[in-house]
Structure 1
Amino acid sequence: MPRPVWMWTLPLWLAVTALGAWGLVSGQRAALRAAFDLDARVLHRVLSQRMEQQETVLHAVSALLTQDLPAGTLRGSVQTLIRPYRQIVAVESCAAAGCQLVAPGRAALPLLPFSPSPGPSVHWPAGSGARYALSLGRARVWVNAGALLPARDLPEEPLTVQLFRPDGGALVLGQAAPVRHAAWAFSVDKRLGTALEPFPVRFERAYAWTVWPWGELLAWVAVTALLAWGLARALIVRARSERTLLDERRRAQGIVQASTDGIVVLDAGGVVVQANPAARRILDGLQVGQAIGSAAQFQATLSQAPFDAAGFWQARAAVALPDGTALQRGAQRVLVEGGLTPLTGEGGHLLGRVLTLREVGPLQQRMLAQLDAGERRVREHEATLTHVSRLSTLGEMSAGLAHELNQPLTAIVSYGQASLRLLNQAEPDLTRARQAVQGMVTQAQRSAEIIARLRTLVRRAPAQRVKVDLVQAARNILTLCQADLTRLDVQVDAPLPTAAFVTGDPVQVEQILLNLVRNALEAMAGVPRRHLSLRVRSAETSWALTVQDSGAGLTGAALANLFQPFQTSKREGLGLGLSLSQTLAQGMGGDLSGENAVAGGARFTLTLPQWTGDPDS
C-alpha cells in the first residue's frame, strides 16, 4: 500500500479512536452516576419517611397516654401501633417518679432521666450507641438507628450508607459496600427531611475497573481500524476503478462499433457526436458535426400518415419510427425501423439523444422464413395435442364409470346374495326376498342414472336443478351403508333436522354423500374407536352438511392435493372420487371442502344453495 496514504490515515484513525473511546467512557460514567443518584434519592426518601413514621408514633402514644386507658388496653394498642416498625425497640410512659415500659423492649434500655417537655425532643443517653429516645409529654419512644435501613431496602447494586448523629457527628448507622481497586467513586451528603431528626446521611458507591465498557471500546477500535483500512483501500481502489472505467469505455465503444444496427449519438442541438460504421453505411455520407436532420431524411409510405419530422427530432421521451418509414438515400428509398431515445442528466436536463436504425428489407425476409417454419410446427403440435386430448377424455370417462359404478354394482351383488339365501331356506321369506330384488332393481336404475349423469358431465351439460331434501338424502345413504356400519361397529351421530331443501340434482347429491361416507368408513377401518358424525346447518342462503370421522386425519400432502384428479392415498384407489364430487357440487352452485377436525379425524363439508322455488335462482 502506498506510504503517503498511511501518513495521514494513521493519525486520523488514532484521533477518531481516542475521541470515541473518551465518549464511551464518559457515557458509561454518566450512566453509573445517574443510577447512583437515583438510588441515593430513593434511600434518602425512605429514611425520611421512617423518621416521619417514628414521630407519628410518638404523637399517637402521647395521645393514648392522656386518655387514662386500662393497662392491658393501652399495652395492646401500643404494641399494635409499633409492630410494623422494627427500629422502635420500646415505648415508656414517664412521670416525675420514673418511667415505666408500656411496650416491652427487645433489649435493656439505657438510663435516661425524665424531663418533661411540651414539644417533641430527641435524647441521646451516654453509652446508648445507635439508640436514642423521642419524648413528648409523658411518652418516650426508643429507636434503634441501626435498624432504620434493613438489607431488603438496599438496591441490588452495592451502596454504602452512613447515618450520623446531628449533635456530634458520631456514626450511628453504617451499611458498607467496599470495592478494591476502584476506578470511579461517587458520594453525596444529604440531611433527612424532618425538623426533629435532621440526621446527616452520606451515600457512597465505588466501581471497579470491570465496569468500563471494554467490549464497546474494543468494538470501537476494531470498527475505526476497519474504516481506516477501508478508506485507504478505497483510495487505492479508486485509482484502479478509474483504469477499469477507461477499459469499460473502450469495451463499450467496441460493442457500439461492432453492432449491426446503426447507432448515432447526438448532442442537445441535434448535431452528430458519434456514429458507428453501421450508421455510416445506412446513412450514406454521415459526418460527425453534421446536423442529423440533413443526414437522415425520413419519409412516410402510403400505409401511414405523413411523417412529423419536427415532432420526432424534438421529442422529450423515447419515440419509435412509425411502421413503414422510408429513408431517402440519394435516389433510393429504403425501409427502416428504429427510434430516438433522449439522454438526461441527474437533474433531468437534456444531454442529447441516441438514434438507432436498421434496414427492414433483409430482416423481413428472415422473419418471414422463420414465421413459416414456426406455423408449420404449431400445426403439427396442435394435431398431436388434439389426439392426446381425445385419449385423455376417454381415459377419464372410463375411470369415472368404473369408480362410480363400483358402489351400486356391489350393492346389487349383496342384494342378490341375500335373495338367494332367503329363497334357499326351508321356508323362503318371500317378503324379504322381494325387498332384496327391489333393492337390486333400484341399484340397477341408479347405475343407469350414474351412466347418464357421467355422460352429461363429459358433454359438459348442465345438471338438473330441482328441489332436493338434503336430510332425506343423508338418511338414504346411511340406510344404504347400514351393513358396513354394523360390520365395522361404527357409532353414528346424526341429529338431523326435519328437512333441508336445496337446489340440485338428487342423484348427484347422493353420489357426493355416498362418496364421503365411504371415504370415512375406509379411514376408520384401522382405528379402535369408530365414530361417524353428520350435521346439517343453515348458512345464510345455503345449507351445509358436514361428514366427520374419527380416523387418523389427512396428511399435509393429502390436504395440498385433496381435490386434484388421480391423487389418492389408497392402495387401490383411482383418485377420482373427491375430484368428481367437488365438480358435481360446484356444478349445482355449491362447493365441497375438506380439513382436519380439531378433535381428530377428517371433516368434509358439502354446501348447496337453499331451495327458493326458482331453479334458475
Structure 2
Amino acid sequence: MVAGLGSWALLEDRRAELRESFDLDARVLHRVLSQRMEQQETVLNAVESLAAQGVERRTLGGYVKALIRPYPQITAVEQCTSAGCEALTPLPGTLPVLPFTPGGSSRVRWPAGTGTRYALERGRIRVWVEARALLPGADLPPEPMTVRIYRPESRSVLAQREGGGRPAALTFLVEKQLGTPLEPFPILFQREYSWNVWPWTTFLTWWAFTALGAWTLARGLTARRRAEQALLDERRRAQGIVQASTDGIVVLDPQGTVMQANPAAHRILSGLRVGEDVRQVARFRATLAQAPLNTARFWQGQEGPTLPDGTALQRGLERVLIGGSLTPLLGERDQLLGRVLTVREVGPLQQRLLAQLDAGERRIREHEALLAHVSRLSTLGEMSAGLAHELNQPLTAIVSYGQAGMRLLGEEEPDLAPVRQSVHNMVLQAQRAAEIISRLRTLVRRAPAQRVKVDVVQAAQNILTLCQADLNRLGVTVETQFPATALVEADPVQVEQIILNLIRNALEAMAGLPEPRLFLGLTPAAGRWILTVQDSGHGLSGEILPYLFQPFHTAKRDGLGLGLSLSQTLAQGLGGDLVGENGPTHGARFTLTLPQWTPDDSVA
C-alpha cells in the first residue's frame, strides 16, 4: 500500500510537471501566433492608409515590399478596383481566384476550396496570407507538440504541425482562439508523451526503499521469536553434542558440585551423581611415569589445567589411565561461573589408534603394489603398441619389394637389375627395422639419441623414394622447395622416422580425393631448419586437434594414436619440436623444427 501511494504521488508530481511545461509552451506559442496576426493586420491598415492618401502605385509598391519583408506568411498584396485586383509586389505563384467586393471595414475572405491561403481586406487593399507559414519550425518549442489552426466556420484544418507519431502514454490537449478580433481562428495544442517520460528509476528506488522498509519491519517483528528459537535450538544442539561425545564431560559450579554430566562421564567416573562434589569420585593419582600430581592445585586452577600424561583414575580397586582438562567458565565481567571437566580413558584409545594405524599402513602397501602392477602392464602395452606401429612401415616395404622381385623373376626373360634393387631395398628395410628396435630400446632406457650431422634434404628425398609406389598409386602431385643442403644435428634414423610418419599420414588423409597434392619445404630460421609437410586433404577436425599429439587419440579406424606422439617425442629429444595445424586454405600442415649443425658442434 505504501509503495502504491508513493508511486501514485510520483506519477501525479511528474504529470503536474509535464502539464506545467505543456501549458507554458502552449501559452508562449499562442502569444507568438497572436502577435503574428496583429502584424498582418498592421500591414493591412498601413497599406490601406497609404493608398487612401493617393500614393502613386509604384511608390506604394516599394512601401509594401519593405513592409512585408519581415513577414514570410504574407505572400502578396493587391490593390483592387471594380475592374479587378492588381498585385503591388511580384507574385511567388498563381493566387487563388477571389472576386473583389468593395467594403470599408477589415474582414477575412476565403477562396473557394480548402486551400491554406486566405485574404485580409480593407477598402481596396487585399493582403494574402499563407497559413502554413504561420508555424515555422523555429517558433515551435524543443519538445514535440502538435499545433493545428482551423477555419472558424468549417473547422477544416488551415495549418498544422504534427509532433506525435509515437505510442502515447500521456496526452495533454488545449484549444484556444487566436487573440485578434479580425482573425479569431481556433487553434489546438496537443502534446503526447511516451512511457519513457515516467520516472522509472525513481519508481524502482521507491519500491526498493519500501520493500527494504517492509523487510526490516517484518524482520524486527520476528527477531525476538527467531532469537528465542535459535537459542533453544543452540541449547539442544549443545546438549546433543555433549550427550553424544565419547569423552566424559562434567559441568561444575564454582564450588565443584556436579550440575550436569553426559553418559560417557557416568561410565568413566563410576558413582558420579548430580548435586554431589565431583572430587568424591574423580580421585586422580600419579603413576610411576610422572611426577607427583598436585590435585588441590588442579581443582582450583584458573587457566584450564590439563592432567599430565600418565595420570591414573582410582576406580574402586583398579586404576585406569586417563587424560583430561578442567576449563573455567567466565562471565561478562570475568567472574567465575563454573568449570567443565573433560576426561577420557587413554588405554582403549591408544589400542584403537594403533589398530587403525596398522590397518592404514597395510592398505597403503596393497595400493602401492597394485599401482606398480598396473604401471608395468601399461608400460608393456605402450611398448608393444609402439613397436608394432613403428615396425609396420618397414615390414610393409619389405613385403612390397619382395612381391615386386617375385613378379620380375616370373617373367620369361627376367631383368636381374630391378630384382637386385628390390632385394637391396628389402635388406635396407630389414636393417631399418633393426635400427627401429634398437632406437625403441634406447628410448625405453631413456638414453640420449645419437647426434650426428644429418642432411634433412637427403632424408626427405630418401623417404619420398621409399613412398614412390604409394604416390604413384594415389596419383599424388609432389611439390618440394628444398635448398641444396640443410644440415642439422640429429639422429638420421629418427629424422627419417618422423618424415616417413608425416608423409604416410598425409597420404592416408588424401586417399580417394581428386587431384591430391603434397608439399614439402625447408626454410632456415634463427639457428634452426624448419621442415613443412602439407597435404590437400580435409584438414584436422576441431575434435582431434586438441589431442593431436596425445597417445591413443586418433581419427583413423585402425589407428593406434601413437605415430604422432612418438614423432613429437623423438623431435623433442633431438632438441626440436613437432607441431600440427590446419593450412591457411585447406589440408593439414605439420612443422618439424631441428637445430642447425655448425662446424663447432662436437658430433661424430
User: What's the TM-score bracket when you normalise by the shorter of the two chains?
Assistant: 0.5 to 0.7
Provide the secondary structure at the position in 1 that maps to 2:544.
helix
Distance (whole Å) between structure 2 residues aligned to residue 207 and residue 266 of structure 1:
78
Counterpart pick for 2:172 among 163, 167, 185: 185
Contact 1:465–1:505 (8 Å) recurs in 2:
yes
Which residue does 2:93 correspond to in 1? 105
Deviation at 1:146, TM superposition (A): 0.4
Question: Given residue 552 of structure 1, which amino acid in structure 2 is its aligned partner?
Answer: H
Alignment of 1:132-147 (within 5 A): 144-147=130-133
Provide the secondary structure at the position in 2 that maps to 1:534.
strand
Contact 1:344–1:352 (8 Å) recurs in 2:
no
Counterpart pick for 2:587 among 601, 607, 614: 601
Which residue does 1:465 correspond to in 2? 451
Alignment of 1:535-554 (within 5 A): 535-538=521-524, 540=526, 542-554=528-540
Q: Does 1:17 align with 2:7?
A: no
Distance (whole Å) between structure 1 residues aligned to residue 249 and residue 439 of structure 2:
67
Contact 2:149–2:160 (8 Å) recurs in 1:
yes
Quickly say closer, same or farther: Cα 1:89–1:187, change in 2 above 3 A: closer
Distance (whole Å) between structure 1 residues aligned to residue 498 and residue 209 of structure 2:
70
Quickly say closer, same or farther: Cα 1:240–1:125, change in 2 above 3 A: closer
Distance (whole Å) between structure 1 residues aligned to residue 435 and residue 313 of structure 2:
78
Contact 2:118–2:130 (8 Å) recurs in 1:
yes
Which residue does 2:384 correspond to in 1? 398
Which residue does 2:473 correspond to in 1? 487
What per-residue deviation string (whole Å, max 9, x for no partner) do you get for residues 229-281 of structure 1? 996699569636733641442133122232013568999xxx99987565788
Q: Does 1:407 align with 2:402?
A: no
Contact 2:324–2:341 (8 Å) recurs in 1:
no
Distance (whole Å) between structure 2 residues aligned to residue 253 and residue 580 of structure 1:
65
Which residue does 2:513 correspond to in 1? 527
Distance (whole Å) between structure 2 residues aligned to residue 205 and residue 611 of structure 1:
87
Which residue does 1:175 correspond to in 2? 161
Question: Given residue 438 of structure 1, which amino acid in structure 2 is its aligned partner?
Answer: H
Question: Given residue 257 of structure 1, which amino acid in structure 2 is its aligned partner?
Answer: Q
Deviation at 1:404, TM superposition (A): 0.8
TM-score (norm 2): 0.61
Provide the secondary structure at the position in 1 that maps to 2:160.
strand
Contact 1:275–1:288 (8 Å) recurs in 2:
no
Question: Given residue 492 of structure 1, which amino acid in structure 2 is its aligned partner?
Answer: V
Distance (whole Å) between structure 2 residues aligned to residue 342 and residue 520 of structure 1:
81
TM-score (norm 1): 0.60
Which residue does 1:562 correspond to in 2? 548
Contact 1:159–1:203 (8 Å) recurs in 2:
yes
Distance (whole Å) between structure 1 residues aligned to residue 273 and residue 529 of structure 2:
80
Q: Does 1:504 align with 2:523?
A: no
Deviation at 1:328, TM superposition (A): 7.4
Question: Given residue 401 of structure 2, which amino acid in structure 1 is its aligned partner?
Answer: Y
Question: Given residue 403 of structure 1, which amino acid in structure 2 is its aligned partner?
Answer: H
Quickly say closer, same or farther: Cα 1:185–1:334, change in 2 above 3 A: same
Distance (whole Å) between structure 2 residues aligned to residue 483 and residue 343 of structure 1:
95
Deviation at 1:451, TM superposition (A): 0.7
Which residue does 2:404 correspond to in 1? 418
Contact 2:520–2:533 (8 Å) recurs in 1:
yes
Deviation at 1:503, TM superposition (A): 3.5
Which residue does 1:254 correspond to in 2? 240
**Does 282-291 or 155-164 show the bigger shift?**
282-291
Quickly say closer, same or farther: Cα 1:225–1:395, change in 2 above 3 A: closer
Distance (whole Å) between structure 1 residues aligned to residue 240 and residue 362 of structure 2:
39
Deviation at 1:453, TM superposition (A): 0.5
Contact 1:130–1:172 (8 Å) recurs in 2:
yes
What per-residue deviation string (whole Å, max 9, x for no partner) do you get for residues 442-499 of structure 1? 2122111101001112222222233333344333322322221221122334334444
Distance (whole Å) between structure 1 residues aligned to residue 424 and residue 21 of structure 2:
94
Distance (whole Å) between structure 1 residues aligned to residue 476 and residue 140 of structure 2:
70
Deviation at 1:402, TM superposition (A): 1.7
Contact 1:595–1:604 (8 Å) recurs in 2:
yes
Question: Given residue 520 of structure 2, which amino acid in structure 1 is its aligned partner?
Answer: L
What per-residue deviation string (whole Å, max 9, x for no partner) do you get for residues 374-430 of structure 1? 333444444444444434333332222221111111112222333344444455444
Contact 1:28–1:212 (8 Å) recurs in 2:
yes
Distance (whole Å) between structure 1 residues aligned to residue 571 and residue 326 of structure 2:
56
What per-residue deviation string (whole Å, max 9, x for no partner) do you get for residues 288-310 of structure 1? 9999xxx99999x999xxxxx9x
Counterpart pick for 1:585 among 571, 574, 577: 571
Provide the secondary structure at the position in 2 that maps to 1:494.
strand
Provide the secondary structure at the position in 1 that maps to 2:481.
coil
Which residue does 2:437 correspond to in 1? 451
**Does 275-284 or 415-424 show the bigger shift?**
275-284
Question: Given residue 105 of structure 1, which amino acid in structure 2 is its aligned partner?
Answer: G
Which residue does 1:50 correspond to in 2? none
Contact 2:489–2:596 (8 Å) recurs in 1:
yes
Which residue does 1:366 correspond to in 2? 352
Quickly say closer, same or farther: Cα 1:412–1:27, change in 2 above 3 A: farther
Question: Given residue 568 of structure 1, which amino acid in structure 2 is its aligned partner?
Answer: T
Superposition CA RMSD, Å: 6.4
Quickly say closer, same or farther: Cα 1:503–1:313, change in 2 above 3 A: farther
Q: Which runs of 5+ in 1 are unaligned?
A: 1-13, 48-86, 113-123, 134-140, 165-170, 190-200, 304-308, 346-350
Contact 1:298–1:326 (8 Å) recurs in 2:
no
Provide the secondary structure at the position in 2 that maps to 1:174.
strand
Contact 2:171–2:190 (8 Å) recurs in 1:
no
Counterpart pick for 2:502 among 491, 510, 516: 516
Distance (whole Å) between structure 1 residues aligned to residue 245 and residue 19 of structure 2:
73
Distance (whole Å) between structure 1 residues aligned to residue 530 and residue 338 of structure 2:
69
Question: Given residue 146 of structure 1, which amino acid in structure 2 is its aligned partner?
Answer: R
Provide the secondary structure at the position in 2 that maps to 1:599.
coil
**Percentage identity across aligned positions?**
60
Alignment of 1:55-204 (within 5 A): 105=93, 107=95, 144-147=130-133, 159-161=145-147, 173-175=159-161, 185=172, 204=190
Distance (whole Å) between structure 2 residues aligned to residue 89 and residue 497 of structure 1:
91
Quickly say closer, same or farther: Cα 1:392–1:218, change in 2 above 3 A: closer
Distance (whole Å) between structure 1 residues aligned to residue 564 and residue 326 of structure 2:
57
Quickly say closer, same or farther: Cα 1:186–1:253, change in 2 above 3 A: farther
Distance (whole Å) between structure 1 residues aligned to residue 339 and residue 520 of structure 2:
75
Distance (whole Å) between structure 1 residues aligned to residue 501 and residue 97 of structure 2:
96
Quickly say closer, same or farther: Cα 1:535–1:262, change in 2 above 3 A: farther
What per-residue deviation string (whole Å, max 9, x for no partner) do you get for residues 546-570 of structure 1? 3333333334443344333333332
Distance (whole Å) between structure 2 residues aligned to residue 342 and residue 492 of structure 1:
91
Distance (whole Å) between structure 2 residues aligned to residue 544 and residue 439 of structure 1:
29
Contact 2:519–2:535 (8 Å) recurs in 1:
yes
Question: Given residue 395 of structure 1, which amino acid in structure 2 is its aligned partner?
Answer: G
Question: Given residue 172 of structure 2, which amino acid in structure 1 is its aligned partner?
Answer: A
Quickly say closer, same or farther: Cα 1:210–1:469, change in 2 above 3 A: closer
Quickly say closer, same or farther: Cα 1:232–1:520, change in 2 above 3 A: same
Quickly say closer, same or farther: Cα 1:336–1:445, change in 2 above 3 A: farther
Distance (whole Å) between structure 1 residues aligned to residue 17 and residue 283 of structure 2:
76
What per-residue deviation string (whole Å, max 9, x for no partner) do you get for residues 71-98 of structure 1? xxxxxxxxxxxxxxxx789799x9xxx9
Distance (whole Å) between structure 2 residues aligned to residue 427 and residue 290 of structure 1:
123
Distance (whole Å) between structure 2 residues aligned to residue 442 and residue 389 of structure 1:
36
Distance (whole Å) between structure 2 residues aligned to residue 546 and residue 353 of structure 1:
82
Which residue does 1:58 correspond to in 2? none
